Amino acid sequence: MENLQDGKQRDLSLNRSDGTNKYLTTDQGVKINDDNNSLKAGERGPSLLEDFILREKITHFDHERIPERIVHARGSGAHGFFEVTNPIPELTKAGFLKEAGLKTPVFARFSTVAGSRGSTDLARDVRGFAVKFYTQEGIYDLVANNIPVFFIQDASKFPDLVHAVKPEPHNEIPQAASAHDTFWDFISLMPESMHMIMWIMSDRAIPRSYRMMEGFGVHTFRLINEAGESTFVKFHWKPKLGTHAVAWDEAQKISGKNPDFHRQDLWEAIEMGNFPEWELGVQIIPEEDENKYEFDLLDPTKIVPEELVPVTIVGRMVLNKNPDNFFAETEQIAFHPGHIVPGIDFTNDPLLQGRLFSYTDTQLSRLGSPNFHEIPINRSIAPVHNNQRDGHMRQEINIGRVSYHPNSLGGGCPYQAKIAEGGFASFNERIDAHKIRERSESFNDHFGQARLFFNSQTPTEKSHIVKALRFELGKVETTAIRVRMLGLLSQVDMKLAEQVAAGLGATVPPVLETPINHGVSPENEMGKHEPQTVESSVESSDALSMLKNPTNSPTIASRKVAIICSDGVSEACVMNMKEALLKQDAKGFIVAPTLGNILTDQDGAIAANFSFLTASSVLFDAVYVPDGIGLNALIENDDVNEYLHDAYKHCKVIGADGRATAVIGAASFAAKISADDQGLILTNEAATKAFTDEFIAAMGQHRFWEREPNLYN
């Protein structure tokens, strides 16, 4: 009998596409002359809506995933408020920035970029830092990241960047990781990415908490005042708790022990009343200073060093309420950098210009309707009146027969608002230029600020960057890609390149391979200009180093301490430590061999919060071993040794008092302990106030990275 199933099978080979030795084309088969630059009105002008190549490319990219976000899929958020502390009415007519003490409701969402919704919180990645302001004049979205620059200069390359960093399409591996060939292949051919690479390979990419990372608006925006005058502005979020990170080995272990680590941290801090807080700062650049610096204000791969333009604090944000429903609020919230209010406007940054199209298009695909603004979490608190109608899942019930403008049947309503009545008007920027696919020569410095960032780091931070690059490039299987990256690193810092090369068993190439002829004709690749290095007017910036910026008043609020106990533990030691931590808004957790009650030296009982099986050292900020009479059980326990070993290796505070110091002495790292290690708090006396005070003070320093050189000797 004829096999009808086989006979009806399609020849799937007809749908296979191989681009080897083929020209790049649009989806309609039109050959593309320039795939690296969007069509602009002049080299530094705005992107043009008629750029069908850019629109087709980004539209396809925006609709590639259903229903989760293509990027920033893994996130967590909270409600709160923004309060003006230093109003700036002379710079902007935005109402939420004009009056001291004015509070505006907000919802903030933090996220990783590359991974799916089910990926780990602790991936080495950029973190999104998006805030929706529910202002009286409408929705304002400050869609920021925890890194102030980006990989690319033009939105045309964004789909390529994300395709490169996502899991490789033939096997969907690896998830939420940049340590693979396709990402570094792309980066090795994009010198403009080198500044961002320095940031992403630093500890900024593995924050201790969402509450302990900065946020940056990335792009240069404009502020517009009542007189219609413009100033350029960069936005900064400064965390009250300071900026802190975890060790890379620790991040990998947390990913296995608790992939929801950041999400849980944010939730629990708010539930405990330790409300996360940031200050909002602005860097203001007068219109006449647009071309003052050696970098271009419109280049999203550049910062404005704080030594050149200080950050002025204008307000604070406090997150004080967790969502009632994760999907309805955190998942359905829809951000867009094009959601602005009068007093804030755009610049011609070509990456920003592309984002202004992309975000709405993405929400149409992800949320399935042009009415996503009617979802409660996205609703404006300002009245909404317009002639938009119908569409999937429409909730607004519009009355009357008129849905157009102008009209007479509806009395001309809703009216257009004059500028004096709060009507939005774009900044009246003069543009007189030719249509061109090109970048300004002022965008060609790809190494100067990368060098500035590296030079600004402490020796510990530089060491972490070297190790990160060794790890990432060590995962790359293609030798030519590693060699190209070493060449690019040599343009940033030769010693850095040599240290990375040593870890790869390679040598730095004597000549930088110019990234041309990789897929398109030489006259079009990267535009007509070769990468350059422009020396920065600032040699080193303390603001770029996490370790050079400790908090003014070190705090351990919301920190967690593992108190390792077994039967016979000193009840006084445990109670004294827990009470001292609570006074500092921190918390001690009893970790024991098993769950249940732990018998104390006073014939009492203390309930264990965790067993060694259910919690790991990497989930705590410090470890304390109290005095007791049953300490042999801890000395002989391999889990205890692992707890202490990881805490020591990750440069955390470790404390022990009374007879418990013997537990530290028996640990695997005991021979490496340095006499001047201020992160090891040991005393032969038990339950003293001096000990707990010293332990808490040490926790306020976060980590003792100077311990690291001893770890590998």
| pLDDT tens digits, one per residue of 70-112 | 788 899 999 999 999 999 999 999 999 999 999 999 999 999 9
Q: Which positions are catalytic?
A: 72, 145
* β-pairing verdict for 312-321 and 344-345: unpaired
Contact indicator for 176, 119 with CB cutoff of 8 Å: yes
425 contact partners, CB below 8 Å, separation of at least 6: 228, 342, 419
585 lies in which domain range? 560-711
In a domain, residue 707? The reply is: yes
Residues 531 and 651 in one domain: no
Query: pLDDT of 353-385, one tens digit each?
Result: 999 989 888 888 888 888 888 889 999 888 888
Residues 532 and 661 in one domain: no
More confident residue, 373 or 606: 606
Residues 349 and 482 in one domain: no
Contact indicator for 492, 198 with CB cutoff of 8 Å: yes
Confidence label for 9 from pLDDT (cuts 50, 70 and 90) = very low
pLDDT at residue 65 in the model: 60
Instruction: Domain count for the chain, please give it.
Output: 3
CA distance 671 to 646: 15
Residues 471 and 371 in one domain: no
Lowest-pLDDT range of 16-30, 468-482, 595-609: 16-30
In a domain, residue 23? The reply is: no
- Other C-beta atoms within 10 Å of 273: how many? 10
Residues 365 and 488 in one domain: no
pLDDT at residue 515 in the model: 58
In a domain, residue 500? The reply is: yes
CA distance 54 to 35: 9
CA distance 78 to 276: 10
DSSP assignments along 523-551, one per residue:
TTTTTT---B----S-S--GGG-STT---
Residues 522 and 574 in one domain: no
Strand partners, 321: 79
Residues 137 and 224 in one domain: yes
| Domain boundary pick from 342, 363, 378 | 378
Residues 691 and 646 in one domain: yes
Mean pLDDT of 333-339: 92
Contact indicator for 94, 137 with CB cutoff of 8 Å: yes
pLDDT at residue 514 in the model: 62
Confidence label for 5 from pLDDT (cuts 50, 70 and 90) = very low
In a domain, residue 284? The reply is: yes
CATH of the domain at 105: 2.40.180.10
Residues 462 and 486 in one domain: yes
Q: Annotate 69-96 with b (16+ C-beta within 10 A) or e (fewer).
A: bbbbbbbbbbbbbbbbeebbeebbbbbb
In a domain, residue 415? The reply is: no
Query: pLDDT of 232-282, one tens digit each?
Result: 999 999 999 999 999 999 999 999 999 999 999 999 999 999 999 999 999
Query: pLDDT of 558-596, one tens digit each?
Result: 999 999 999 999 999 999 999 999 999 999 999 999 999
More confident residue, 636 or 67: 636
DSSP assignments along 448-495, one per residue:
HHHHHHHHTS-HHHHHHHHHHHHHHHHT---HHHHHHHHHHHHHH-HH
Coil, strand or helix at 396: coil
In a domain, residue 258? The reply is: yes
| Domain boundary pick from 335, 360, 378 | 378
CA distance 426 to 228: 9
| Domain boundary pick from 378, 394, 425 | 378
Residues 501 and 569 in one domain: no
Query: pLDDT of 659-676, one tens digit each?
Result: 999 999 999 999 889 888
Residues 463 and 370 in one domain: no
Strand partners, 40: 47, 436
Q: Compute the mean pLDDT over every residue in the chain, rounded to the nearest whole number.
A: 90
In a domain, residue 405? The reply is: no
Residues 537 and 565 in one domain: no
Q: Is the pLDDT of residue 158 over 90?
A: yes
Q: Is the pLDDT of residue 706 over 80?
A: yes
Best CA proximity match to 559, nearest among 349, 359, 701: 701
In a domain, residue 266? The reply is: yes
Coil, strand or helix at 142: strand
CATH of the domain at 485: 1.20.1370.20
- Other C-beta atoms within 10 Å of 33: how many? 13
* The two structure tokens encoding residue 559: 């920190």
Query: pLDDT of 302-334, one tens digit each?
Result: 999 999 999 999 999 999 999 999 988 999 999
